[in-house]
Homo-oligomer: A and B are copies of this chain.
Amino acid sequence: MKITALLVLFLLQFIVAFGSDSDPVMDFCLPVSPSNPFSCKNASLATVHDFTFSGIKFPGNFKESGFSATAVNYKLFPGLNTLGMSFVRADFDVGGVNVPHFHPRATEIAYVLEGKVYSGFIDTNNKIFAKVIEKGEVMVFPRGLLHFQMNVGDSPAAILGSFDSQNPGLQKIPSAVFGSGIKMELLEKAFGLNPKELYKLRKRFSSS
């Protein structure tokens, strides 16, 4: 009995998560369980409900900066598993901001569902590409490059973003740089900020 229990524990702590966004070798792969996303259920158990998603019909609740986002990857929508794509709905209150961030593993196609959005990215020559895009317009953010958005209209805005990875990842610059615990001395030198200024940023972006 003890062996069994150990075995169960052993298995449960696994998160079988190896994988890649290359060509699939099956039609699809529905994960057996949320904690075991890369072991597939028998295909005969799949139903149409595994391939449809209703969770972004409405805006989320606005949080920091009047901004709210629902990232829909294989964890939230298991049918996407192994299919190489995911998406996000982002909502902006008036003046709301999607802070400078990047997705380490994907290009993004951003389609404006509603409103006017100042939208842009920076290339590796440090050149900015930014403008206001409106309902029905599209902007592309090349793989891995820093980008940002702000609602500059006078009503709420919304964007649908699509990614060419089932798990593009997200690093928000303010919290990753100032809220993760990088040595103060390094940040002081890197940004030319004094300890007081850094302390303020650190306080703002630390999660605890």
Contacts and interface: CB of A to CB of B under 8 A. Distances in A.
A162 B162 contact: yes
B83 A23 contact: no
Interface in A143-160: 143-146, 148, 150, 160
A183 B28 contact: no
A40 to B, nearest CB: 4
A21 B166 CA distance: 15
Nearest to A18: B38
A130 B87 contact: no
Given A7-B4, A192-B204, A131 B48 contact: yes
Interface in A37-71: 38-44, 46-54, 56-58, 65
Interface in A161-208: 162, 164-167, 169-183, 185-187, 189-193, 197, 200-201, 204, 207
B52 A39 contact: no
Nearest to A5: B3
Interface string A1-39: 101110110010111111111111111110010001011
A149 B66 CA distance: 34
25 contacts: A3-B8, A14-B39, A14-B41, A15-B41, A18-B39, A20-B82, A23-B105, A24-B143, A28-B123, A43-B125, A44-B125, A50-B129, A57-B137, A85-B107, A100-B187, A102-B102, A102-B171, A122-B176, A124-B171, A126-B172, A128-B181, A146-B176, A148-B186, A173-B173, A174-B191
